[in-house]
Amino acid sequence: MDKAIYICTGTCKAEISEEEYNKGLTKCGTQGCTHFGHAFEKRMKCHVCGAYYKEGEQHSHP
């Protein structure tokens, strides 16, 4: 089953769990990242291929 995660869409591409986000880690803290200080964005992560997609979007494999 795919799971909800939070990602940085900047150059560091950080990925955190929903649990980490709920505990207060809500912004990128990587010095030098193009999105330093910006909020992480919620995504779903495919358990088969590892692709990220937005909640509500359809993700499938050919």
What is the average per-residue pLDDT within 5-23? 97
Residue ranges with strand state E in the chain: 3-7, 15-17, 41-45, 52-53
**pLDDT bucket at 51, cuts 50 / 70 / 90:** very high
Q: How far apart are CA 60 and CA 62, in angstroms?
A: 7
Q: How far apart are CA 30 and CA 25, in angstroms?
A: 12
- Please say if the pLDDT value at position 12 is more than 90: yes
